[in-house]
């Protein structure tokens, strides 16, 4: 199994995530828009420069945190490109990974995004098999509940996970998540992407849950936790 953590939106609470990724020596990718049209605060260039390390990397998330399906297609290029330039100027190197705001896209949008980026991630859940192309996550680190996991597993044709859910009924979302990760860790060829928002971790008090997971990873399968960009065949 290969594991990848990524966090969206560049909220100020990312600072706590930077510290946790360093502490547990688990790589994390942070997708940061230049600004946020919803009014959320975005971390400063200085915070990004200070945080970047072996365990903390940054990727693009558009200029204004714009859902790319909500704007005219001719405006998509600028939304994507301007944010990449912004990040590359701050960090002083190429930025190759991108996350679609709200996970929204169509084929035309993807073509434009791939002009600039090597990897593109959605905001999906319950995907366990990577067969090239857009990166679709397995776990949203947020208590979505059994119904959401089940519905997404069905939609994404993750049938063995569907059966697993049915045979492991529990109301404890994170217990379930831990079990799903444990199950996935037994396969060699799968990729498990975990994503979330630091502001959600703060709002729903999920920091302890995340530290529990990091501890499990560190104890059991740390060697399988690779740098985000290393685990995919990039386009």
By CB under 5 A, name the binding residues for Zn ion: 8-9, 101
Nearer to Zn ion, 47 or 226 (CB): 47
Nearest approach, Cβ of residue 189 and Zn ion (Å)? 29
Nearest approach, Cβ of residue 77 and Zn ion (Å)? 19
Nearer to Zn ion, 138 or 176 (CB): 138
Torsion of CA 103, 104, 110, 113, to 10 degrees: -70
Q: Tell me how many degrees the CA angle 26-156-196 measures, rounded to the nearest 5.
A: 35
- Please state, in angstroms and rounded to a whole number, the distance separating the CA atoms of residues 8 and 4: 13
Nearer to Zn ion, 9 or 63 (CB): 9
Nearer to Zn ion, 27 or 101 (CB): 101
Reference 141, options 210, 218, 216, 59; nearest CA is: 210
Residue 191 phi, psi (nearest 5): -120, 130
Q: Are 134 and 126 in contact (CB under 8 A)?
A: no
Nearer to Zn ion, 104 or 183 (CB): 104
Nearest approach, Cβ of residue 63 and Zn ion (Å)? 13
Nearest approach, Cβ of residue 202 and Zn ion (Å)? 15
Reference 207, options 11, 19, 3, 9; nearest CA is: 19
Q: Are 190 and 129 in contact (CB under 8 A)?
A: yes
Nearest approach, Cβ of residue 103 and Zn ion (Å)? 9
Radius of gyration for the alpha carbons in the chain, expressed in angstroms and rounded: 17
């Amino acid at each position: 199994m290969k594991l990848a953590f990524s966090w969206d939106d560049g909220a100020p609470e990312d600072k706590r995530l930077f510290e946790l990724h360093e502490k547990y020596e688990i790589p994390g990718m942070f997708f940061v828009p230049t600004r946020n049209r919803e009014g959320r605060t975005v971390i400063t260039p200085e915070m990004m420069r200070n945080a970047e390390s072996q365990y903390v990397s940054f990727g693009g998330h558009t200029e204004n945190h714009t859902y790319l399906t909500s704007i005219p297609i001719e405006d998509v290029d600028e939304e994507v490109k301007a944010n990449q330039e912004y990040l590359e100027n701050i960090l002083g190197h190429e930025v190759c990974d991108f996350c679609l705001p709200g996970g929204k896209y169509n084929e035309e949008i993807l073509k434009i995004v791939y002009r600039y980026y090597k990897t593109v991630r959605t905001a999906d859940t319950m995907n366990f098999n990577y067969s090239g192309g857009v990166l679709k996550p397995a776990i949203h680190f947020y208590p979505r509940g059994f119904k959401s996991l089940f519905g997404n597993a069905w939609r994404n044709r993750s049938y063995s996970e569907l059966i697993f859910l049915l045979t492991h009924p529990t109301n404890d979302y994170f217990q379930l998540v831990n079990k799903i990760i444990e199950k996935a860790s037994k396969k060699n060829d799968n990729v498990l992407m975990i994503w979330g928002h630091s502001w959600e971790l703060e709002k729903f008090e999920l920091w302890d849950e995340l530290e529990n997971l990091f501890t499990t990873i560190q104890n059991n399968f740390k060697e399988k936790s690779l740098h985000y960009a290393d685990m995919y065949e990039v386009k």
